[in-house]
Every structure is written in C-alpha cells, then in structure tokens.
A and B are shown apart, each in its own frame.
Chain A
C-alpha cells in the first residue's frame, strides 16, 4: 500500500508542474505590460524599468517560469496588483469559506444521492425510481447559477425563510480562528452563531450540492442494480437475512466502489461550481475572489487561485485513488 501511495505521489509532481506551466503561460500571454498595470498609465519609464527588474519581467519567459516555480514551492505566489496583499495570504483567508461550502454541499449531495439511488434500485420501476431518474438527469442539466437565483427569489425574497447572501448576519460578530464558522461555533457551544451560519449555508450548499447529487444518485442506482443481481445477494436472501441487512450490509458496501470514484470526480465540478455559487450568494471564498480578480485584471490573484484550485483537485483525486485502493485491493497491483 505504501509503495502504491508513493508511486501516486510521484506521478502528481509532473502533473502539478504542468498545471503551473499552463496557468503561468496563459496568464503571461495576456496582452499588456504587467509593470504598467501595476504602476498605472502615467508612470515614468525609469520606474517601469525598475519594477520589471524587481519582478524579473526583463528575463526570458522560461526563466521567469522557473523563478515562479521556485517561489511557489516556498509558498510565494506574488502580490495582488490591486491590494498589494500577498496572494497566498489572500487564498489562505478565503479558503475556509470555500472549504466549508464545498464540504456541506458534498455532504448534502452524497447523502441525498445515496438514499435516492438505493431506494430507486430497490424499488425498480416504481414512482420513486422515475423521480430519481428525473432528478439525476435534471440535476446534470441544471445551470446552478440559475437555480441559485430562483432559490433566492422563492426562499429569500418571497417567503423570507432563508438569508439572501453572506456567511453570517451582519449584526453577529464572530471571529473564527480557523475560518470554519460552523465547526468552530459548534465546538465553542455558541449556538446562536451556529444556527445563523447553518441558515446562511442552506441555499448555497443545496444549490451547489445538486451537481454531485445527480451523478451520485445515478451511479448508486446503476451500481446497486448490478450488485443486487449477484449470486452472493441471492445467498444472503436465501439464508433468511432481513432485507434491510441484505441491502445495507451486503449490497451497498459492494456497490459503493464506483460511487466513491464519482464522489471524487464530482469534487472537481464542485470547485468549479463554487466560482458560480459564491458569486451569486456573495460568499467570501476563493471562487468569488477569483471572479473579482478577473474583473479587476488582477493577474497574480487569478493565477494563484486557479493553480490552488487545480492542486486541490489533483490532491482530492489522489485521496480518492488511495481510498479506492483500500476498498478494492486489486487496484494496488495494476
């Protein structure tokens, strides 16, 4: 197992270098002089020259890339053109909001998806099976940014049940050391904050969670149908086990293997979807940070955010592969 993990970690290195190269050269191909953007239109040639030397912009692009890689390994992704803040600190500050949102969405999507998938498979061709099929196809086709807006119209504007945006009510002051408001308020026993944070989380998490929900429900259904036809299930039934035990202990555990892969892959869509969801719900995460950076042409921040998102995705894929190898030992020996 260790050898498998080490092999997978080694494979990650060239992918990460490649990812950094793609983003670096894409951002460098944007027309315009970064020094000019940094100093403004009416700066002297002397000042421009100085900043170019300081940032290494006078060197060939490939050399600049190696400098960039070297700095990135040290955790230095440059400074924001707009705020002069260190990009890695900006990412660090915004990451907990994105993490909390994606985790809650995934918990919602996987739980509902699994329940729907299992119920649909065990009640094949019933009304619940049809509903699940409709939800899974509709969920994949749904523009989540629209779903978010419609949810705001219904639940926030019309019925005033849930808040329209943000992570907490502006009247509440809560300083979360980790940035994870829900978790920290729960640990500290501050239930007013916890309740408010959950209220604020419901709409964005449900909207974003629709993406994994649809795929997980679909995969669970088909995987369960396949497993339910296997001989060992017939044996379990024949020896008189209660249906609940046959389904949840014997069938679901075996049907989960492909579902785990789908959950891992869906994290990518979640990270992408977070950009849209955070924009709609004014959620102070990395997704919103990157959109604001794009609108302001703040290239170091765009670069940092996209690389960070890609690294997280690569890392999640690695985790999924390891979990997969744990569940199915054959994978390790391939």
Chain B
C-alpha cells in the first residue's frame, strides 16, 4: 500500500488524481450539488448569460448549464468505465491467450487487431456507430471496441516476458491448469502496464465519446452529455458563447486528469524514465 502512495509524490499524478476525484465527487452527489434539474426547461430564461442565479448561464431551452455539466459528469465517467472495462476485458483476455498459446491463435488474433489498428480510431468508432445506430449505449460499445487492440497488444507484450519466467515454468511443471497459470501467475504480474493504459484510455474514451456526441452519433438530446451539449450549442455560438465554453472545459479537465495520472503512473512504474 505504501508503494501505491509513493506514486503520488509525483505532483502531476497527484494533480491528476485530485481532478478525477473532483469529477467523481460531483458525479456521485450530483443530486445534491446541482442547483437545478438538468432537464427542466424554462423558455422564459433561455440563453441567459452567466449570472448569480445561473453561474454558467442557460442554454437555448432555458436549462441551467452548470446543472447539466454536473449531471454530465455521471455520463462521461460511466462512458469511461464501460468502454475501458469492455476494452480491457476483451483486450486483456485476447492478449493473454495470444501470448500464452502462441501459434495459429496468436497469428489470427494479432492480424485481426492489425486490421482494426489500420483504422483511425474515431473513424472505426463512426463505422461501428453507423451499424449500431446513434445512442449513448452504442457509443460506449463502439469506443470500447476500438480500444481492444491497444490493450491486447500491451498485455501480449508484457505476458510474453512473464511467460518465460521460472515461476511460471514451475507452475506448469507442477501441473497447474492453463487457466490458473494465465489468471493467477501471469495476469497479476502485468497489472502495472494495464493500469497505465487503462488511465490513458479512460481519458481517450471520454474524448472519443464526446466527439461522437458532437457529431450527433452518441448521446441524444436531452441527455446532458458534454459532447452532445456542445453540438446543440453550436448554433448559438454568436449570441451565447457561454453555451459552448463550459461543456468543453469540463471535457478538457476530465480528460486531462486521467492523462496526467496515466503519465505519472507510467513514470512511476518504468524506472528508466525516472
């Protein structure tokens, strides 16, 4: 445990963690913190500039932007959790199987991931979204799928090294099952690189999902998803620039938090960089 806290001697990693904790806090306690109902429309108050009553102003339907951003944190953090869990679960399993069994399984899986990596990320997500249809749930799946190859490659590379260690050989010699060797002896020893990638992918997933939302392919109105909020606010960029400013800051800060935490973890786990 002491070792874990050492990571946070790195000021950047600590700053990243604090930003993330801030968003987690507002996501959990959104009901108590948000001054208004994020869906409540008031055409009387439409496009109000930031003021004491509406700190971040209101949108074209008179909804309080601050409240929508606070509730939006729930959505963005959920997008990150689901898409990273999907990418990590499938990518790590594929990477472990590929490294452990090698041969034809390894070749097939890696060629498949080569094909997926041949697409610029957001374009593959767009292609998947075209097939699944515009929806928040589908956006999470699409972003998760496009991240699978990255996890698979990192896990495979790390697992290939661990596989050759003597204790893995010993477990094999003792007659332990392949399943046990993979998940009990190899997996726990590659948690480091997986954690770093998960943190970096989390930020990337929020960014990609916001991009899909912005293009109208992710969350649909009236969901207070930050990318979709930006997309709806675009038409009012001249008359109400605040409608565009704040959701973007929220996306930027949350992604920044995960990216600098990921960088800090990488510096900590890779002593060559220190």
Interface residues of A (CB under 8 A from B): 14-16, 18-19, 22-23, 26-27, 29-30, 137-138, 140-143, 145-147, 149-150, 152-153, 157, 268-269, 271-273, 275-276, 279-280, 290-291, 294-295, 299, 302, 306, 309-310, 313-314, 317
A29 to B245, CA, bound (A): 38
Collect the chain A residues with CB atoms within 8 Å of residue B129's CB: 294
- Asked if residues B114 and A15 are in contact (CB atoms below 8 Å), the reply is yes
Is A146 a contact partner of B123 (Cβ separation < 8 A)? no
A145 nearest in chain B by CB position: B214
Contact status B214-A275, CB under 8 Å = no
Contacts of A314 in B (CB 8 A): 118
Question: Quick check: A29 and B123 within 8 Å, CB to CB?
Answer: no
Q: Which residues of B contact A14 (CB under 8 A)?
A: 111
B237 touches A149 (CB 8 A): yes
Q: How far is the CA of A300 from the CA of B123 in the complex (A)?
A: 15
Q: Which residues of A contact B193 (CB under 8 A)?
A: none
Which of B121, B128, B203, B215: most chain A CB closer than 10 A?
B215
Q: Does the CB pair A294–B263 fall under 8 Å?
A: no
Q: Is B211 an interface residue (CB 8 A)?
A: yes
Residues in B with CB closer than 8 Å to A26 are 127-128, 130-131
- Say yes or no: is B194 at the interface (Cβ < 8 Å to chain A): no
Give complex CA distance A269, B127 in Å.
16
| Complex Cα gap A290–B252 (Å) | 26
Nearest chain A CB to B121 CB, angstrom units: 6
In the bound complex, do residue A271 and residue B252 qualify as a contact, i.e. CB atoms below 8 Å apart? Answer: no
How close is A139's CB to chain B, nearest CB, in angstroms? Answer: 10
Report how many A-B pairs have Cβ atoms within 8 Å. Answer: 134
Contact B130 A143 (CB under 8 A): no
In the complex, what's the smallest C-beta–C-beta distance from A234 to chain B, in angstroms?
20
Whether A272 lies near B120 (C-beta < 8 A) is yes
Which of chain B's residues 162-211 have a Cβ closer than 8 Å to chain A? 203, 207, 210-211
- B251 to chain A: closest residue by CB: A143
Stretch at the interface among B44-52, B60-68, B86-94, B254-262: B254-262
Report the bound CA distance from A157 to B241 in whole Å. Answer: 10
The 8 Å CB contact of A18, one of B118, B227, B241, B247, is B118
Q: How far is the CA of A150 from the CA of B248 in the complex (A)?
A: 9
B122 touching A29, Cβ below 8 Å = no
The answer, among A140, A150, A153, A299, for a CB contact under 8 Å with B259, is: A140
CB pair B121 A269 closer than 8 Å: yes
Closest to A14 in B: B111
Asked whether any CB of chain A lies closer than 8 Å to the CB of B115, the reply is yes
**Residue B230, interface by CB 8 Å:** yes
Q: A146-B244, A149-B237, A152-B237 are in contact. Are A294 and B126 (CB under 8 A)?
A: yes
Residue of B nearest to A18 (CB): B115
B interface vs A, CB < 8 Å? 12, 111-112, 114-116, 118-124, 126-131, 203, 207, 210-211, 214-217, 227, 230, 234, 237-238, 241, 244-245, 247-248, 251-252, 255-256, 259-260, 263
Contact for B211 among A143, A294, A306, CB less than 8 A: A143
- A149–B233 Cα distance when bound, in Å, is 10
Closest beta carbon of chain B to A23's beta carbon, Å: 6
Measured in the bound complex, the distance between the Cα atoms of B218 and A276 in whole Å is 14
Interface pair A279/B215, CB less than 8 Å apart: yes
Residues of A within 8 A of B203 (CB): 141
Q: Known interface pairs A15-B114, A150-B248. Does A157 touch B237 (Cβ–Cβ under 8 Å)?
A: yes
Contact of A276 among B215, B248, B251 (CB under 8 A): B215
* Residue from the set B124, B217, B263 with the largest chain A CB neighbour count within 10 Å: B124
Q: How far is the CA of A298 from the CA of B251 in the complex (A)?
A: 31
| In the complex, chain A residues whose CB is within 8 Å of the CB of B112 | 18
Q: Is A309's CB under 8 angstroms from B123's CB? A: yes
A137 to B126, CA, bound (A): 26
Is there an interface contact between A22 and B115, defined as CB atoms closer than 8 Å?
yes
Q: Which residues of B contact A29 (CB under 8 A)?
A: 131
Partner of A272, one of B111, B114, B123, B130: B123
B120 touches A313 (CB 8 A): yes
Measured CB to CB, the closest approach of chain A to B21, in angstroms, equals 17
Contacts of A146 in B (CB 8 A): 230, 244, 247-248, 251-252
Check B207–A310 contact: CB distance below 8 A.
no
A137 and B256 contact, CB distance less than 8 A: yes
20 contacts between A and B (CB under 8 A): A18-B112, A19-B115, A19-B118, A22-B127, A30-B131, A141-B255, A142-B255, A146-B244, A146-B247, A146-B248, A149-B248, A153-B237, A268-B120, A272-B120, A276-B122, A276-B214, A280-B234, A302-B130, A313-B118, A313-B119
Instruction: For the complex, give the distance between the alpha carbons of A119 and B127 in Å.
Output: 41
Q: In the bound complex, what is the Cα–Cα distance between A273 and B126 (angstroms)?
A: 12
B211 nearest in chain A by CB position: A276
- Shortest A87–chain B CB gap in Å is 15
- With a CB–CB cut-off of 8 A, which chain A residues contact B126? 275, 290, 294, 306
Q: Which residues of A contact B259 (CB under 8 A)?
A: 137, 140-141
How far, in Å, is A280 (CB) from chain B's closest CB? 8
Partner of B245, one of A140, A150, A310: A150
The distance in angstroms between the C-alpha atoms of A260 and B115, with both chains bound, is 22
Given contacts A18-B115, A22-B116, A149-B230, contact A275 B237 (CB under 8 A): no
Q: Is the CB of A153 within 8 A of B244?
A: yes
Q: Which A residues touch B234, using CB under 8 A? A: 149, 280
Q: Which residue of B lies closest to A273 (CB)?
A: B122
In the docked arrangement, what's the CA distance between A272 and B120, Å? 6
Give me 20 other A-B pairs in contact (C-beta within 8 A), A143-B227, A269-B121, A317-B118 excluded.
A15-B115, A23-B127, A141-B203, A141-B207, A143-B207, A143-B211, A146-B230, A149-B234, A149-B244, A152-B237, A153-B245, A157-B237, A157-B241, A269-B120, A275-B126, A280-B234, A290-B123, A299-B130, A306-B119, A313-B120
